[in-house]
Structure 1
Amino acid sequence: APVTLEAGVNQPYWIRVEAPADLPAGIYRGEVTVAAEGVKAAVPLSVEVFGFALPDMMTCETAFGFSAARALRYHGVTEPSDRRVVTDKYLRALADNHISPYNPAPMDGWSVKWKGLPQDGGEKASGKAGTKPQAFDVNAVEPVFDWSAWDAAMERAFAEYHFNSFQMRIEGLGGGTFHGRHEPKFLGYDGGTPEYEILMGKYLGGIESHLREKGWLDKAYVYWFDEPDPKDYEFVMRGFETLKRHAPGLRRMLTEQVEEGLAGGPNLWCPLTPSLHVDGLEERRAAGDQFWWYVCCGPKAPYATLFIDHPGTEMRVWLWQTWAERVTGILVWETVYWTSDAAYPDRSAPQNPYLDPMSWVSGYSAPTGMKSAWGNGDGRFLYPPLAAADGRRSQTPVLAGPVSSFRIEMLRDGLEDYEYFVILKRLLEQKGGKMGGRDRSRMEALLKVPAEVSTSLTSFTRDPAPIEEHRERLARAIAALQRL
């Protein structure tokens, strides 16, 4: 649609072309025009559409943080209806880029009540300090789950947004990071006690049963501990053993590389990209474990990273490396990390992510007023609309959607590139027998990431041309196979 521009102000444009799934193959032409009084300039635009469509749901799994609370704070929305409007716009923006948030239903949770749990009377379940329920017969109580609101939101997440993974939060396991942790406890009973095991068995069994019934078990993962140190391994393994005993079908994800002390615990490993290749990797693959990987404030150059001040191709190249390394998913800890409570402690004047591109450290005992850098753009892929950029609440809530970034657009292109590889591989398995040996070998060679794109995690192109050239070769091979 026509847009009126302000005189004397440079206005960049990012043009995204979307082809309907049923659009016939062919070359489609148009133009972009810029007109002023007595002046008109036209730029021709042509798009070639191939005779195949990408699936609605991508094969490469994605798991990205999205703090709805932070976004809503910047937008200044308080009414429930407004909160839903704004949240949905962020979910739509993620979906448009094939990014699945940890929590696809941030406005709609599920709950559990315990039938037969006494409300008062009796003795404390544990002698340790703290608020605990009364002692009770753990064999006589049963969990009653209310999934209604959550199920409806999740059905929309899959049917409309086409998210392909989600984090299943589990109470009672404990959790933490290398910086600190809290012990497992459930309904007042400490982890490791017989009562804890009985209650967790009922609770986890109910969760796993529901997810299996809904057909969502393969999309769920439990992400309950982050980046453990060796000192945490024994603690982490106890938590994973609890999950294995009571909900063996739930994927157990850990942001750590393969380590001997963790073998048999997680079955979904998610190391930092430079830490993928360690001893034990292939043994865990042979055991059936899955592998994702992640980037955050690290690694730094010369690796592909998420930082604003790195070449724009890096997030796209990351997905080509993901395919080359037989990794099936990517993770980033946050998408709307706009401010740091340490660097900007005044909640009435948070960071403006446009004026200050740095992602400053928060948490991890960072003292008030400390400014320690994680990196430009770390955890920041979507931006608030300009009217909400300073995060200062006004009388009028801002209901506009988020502003995209080059990096999330490159992630989308990379995820679609990955899907081209998936489609070609599948078609070769299905139809390769109909081809001559030379033609089949030529197409099979296309499944290898070319050296012009990436030869290692630290040697890759910063020019989009070889990426586009090989993507076109993949597309033409797919189209040819579909005609067989």
Structure 2
Amino acid sequence: TYASHRISSYGVDFKALNSYNESAPNNWEGKCCWYNETDFTWIFNWTWWDNEMERNLACGMNGFRVTCPLDIPNNKKLWTDENWRTGTLNYYEEVNDHLVSKGWAKYAYVYDVDEPQIHVPDGITLEEFLGHIADIFGDIKSVAPDLKIAITFQPSKVAESLYPYVDIWIPLSNQFDVGEIRSRQESGDEIWYYSCVQPNAPYANTMLYNHLYETRLLSWMVWYYNISGYLFWSSASYRHQGYGVGYNGYGDGVLLYEHYSGDLYESCRWEMILQSQEDYEYFYLLNQTRHQLQGTQYENTANSYFEEFSETLNNLIRSHNDFVRASKPYLDLRDRVGMMLNELIPILNAI
């Protein structure tokens, strides 16, 4: 269902064996590594993991998360624990080398720090905490230079210590500083955005109280801001953090419903994400067609169509929480782009 909805999951988990027997077979299904706490080294068996990843990539996955079983902690004692640091760096060095050998490093992003602003240890500031994270990211970069590092945080002055190491910034849609974002893009960083439990209305989101057209706008925002992606934290988190089923009452993180038989039921909001992705594909195709018709007698027509599309879009959307509150104008624009493509693509194919 992820592939058919143009969505990449987080990928195959990097899970470790609880114990390892050197003299007998080990069950590696669902696992790829084992940590030796005596010498802080790792034993990897990539057979199961590689097979699962190949299956995911064959379905169109274009990105996956890399994590370490040791985690990156907010426990201050571990920041100076050389054994933890050695084990973590040994892990990332081997993972980097394996992914490079498979040609998969280009899809990978290290995502081991999530929402640092809500995990600041007692006794230090957020800026100091981010400084410690920067030190760890720097060490990871030194042994795993081919892996991008992502963080769910907004580029900002308080996060400047992270600038040399973070490759993918993922701010909440209500913490979106366009000036800082453009600055990081100019430096070569990727920008995504995300939603998780928040933000509430008037922001576009997937909550039960959001109009369906608002959920459909999630990928439109990616195009509008000229960024690289949207991260949604979970599609089926029924019992998030032990709070119980539907703990917040908003349907957040629950887009798929699992029947006791194992069958999945897709929500209307899940279907709107598919529509949103397909809308984005329309916009992308129009832009690519325009570029390919440059230097031909159809250049002016293609440019005129793209300008019409861009002007209409900018009249509909002004920010994450300021957009036209009706579905028809968006459907009309999608149909209009479809008519443009219907005219231009046969011309392109005939050239």
Instruction: Give TM-score, length-normalised by structure 2.
Output: 0.82
Distance 1:234 1:341, change over 3 A: closer
Q: Conserved in 2, the CA contact under 8 Å of 1:174 and 1:181?
A: no
In the other structure, the counterpart of 1:428 is 290
SS in structure 2 of the partner of residue 307 of structure 1: coil
Q: Which of 250, 254, 259 in structure 2 is aligned with 1:376? A: 250
SS in 2 for 1:303: coil
Determine which structure has the larger helix proportion and give its number: 2
Q: Distance in 2 between matches of 1:104 and 1:409?
A: 24
Q: Structure 1 residue 406 and structure 2 residue 268: aligned?
A: yes
Opposite residue 329 of structure 1, the aligned amino acid is G
2:45 and 2:99 mapped to 1: Cα distance? 13
Show the counterpart of 2:149.
Answer: 252
Match of 1:274 in 2: 174
Gaps of 5+ in 2: 16-28, 118-125
In 1, the alpha carbon distance for the partners of 2:232 and 2:280 equals 18
The answer to which structure has the higher strand fraction is 1
Instruction: Give the CA deviation at 1:270.
Output: 0.2
- Classify 1:105/1:171 alpha carbon distance in 2 versus 1 (closer, same or farther; 3 Å): closer
Alignment counterpart, residue 60 of structure 2, candidates 159, 162, 180: 162
What residue identity is the alignment partner of 1:111? C
Structure 2 counterpart of 1:103, which letter? Answer: G
Identity among equivalent positions (%) equals 26
Amino acid in the other structure paired with 1:213: S
Displacement of 1:253 in angstroms is: 0.5
Equivalent residue pairs, number = 321
CA 1:473–1:292 in 2, change beyond 3 Å: closer, same or farther?
A: same
Q: Relative CO higher for 1 or 2, CA cutoff 8 Å, sep ≥ 6?
A: 1
Secondary structure in 1 matching 2:10: coil
| SS at 1:264 equivalent | coil
**1:265 corresponds to which residue?**
165
Which stretch of the first structure deviates more once superposed, 204-213 or 220-229?
204-213
2:45 alignment partner AA: D
What displacement does 1:425 show?
1.5
Aligned equivalent of 1:147, options 46, 50, 59: 46
- TM-score, normalising length: structure 1: 0.61
Equivalent residue letter for 2:287: K
* Other-structure match for 1:473: 336
More off after superposition, 99-108 vs 144-153: 99-108
Q: CA deviation at 1:202?
A: 4.6
The 8 Å contact of residues 79 and 132 in structure 2, kept in 1 or not, is answered as no
Q: Which structure 2 residues correspond to residues 55-454 of structure 1 after superposition, within 5 A?
A: 93-104=1-12, 109-112=30-33, 132-133=37-38, 144-159=43-58, 161-172=59-70, 174-176=72-74, 183=78, 189-191=83-85, 196=86, 202-229=90-117, 230=126, 231-260=128-157, 261=160, 262-277=162-177, 279-340=179-240, 342-344=242-244, 351=245, 359-360=246-247, 373=248, 375-385=249-259, 388=260, 398-399=261-262, 401-436=263-298, 438-448=300-310, 450-451=313-314, 453-454=316-317
Q: CA deviation at 1:183?
A: 2.9
Q: C-alpha separation between the residues in 2 aligned to 1:151 and 1:308?
A: 37
Offset of 1:342 from its aligned partner? 4.6
Q: CA RMSD in A?
A: 2.7
| Most deviating of 240-249 and 432-441 | 432-441
CA distance in 1 between partners of 2:337 and 2:69 (Å): 45
How far apart in 1 are the matches of 2:297 and 2:69?
54
Separation in 2 of the partners of 1:402 and 1:182?
43
The 1:217/1:106 distance shift into structure 2, 3 A limit, reads: closer
Letter in 2 for 1:383: Y
Query: Which amino acid letter does the alignment assign opposite residue 257 of structure 1?
Result: Q
Taking the aligned partners of 1:206 and 1:416, their CA distance within structure 2 comes to 37
The alpha carbon displacement at 1:330 in A equals 0.9
CA contact (8 A) 2:148 2:167 kept: yes
Letter in 1 for 2:83: Y
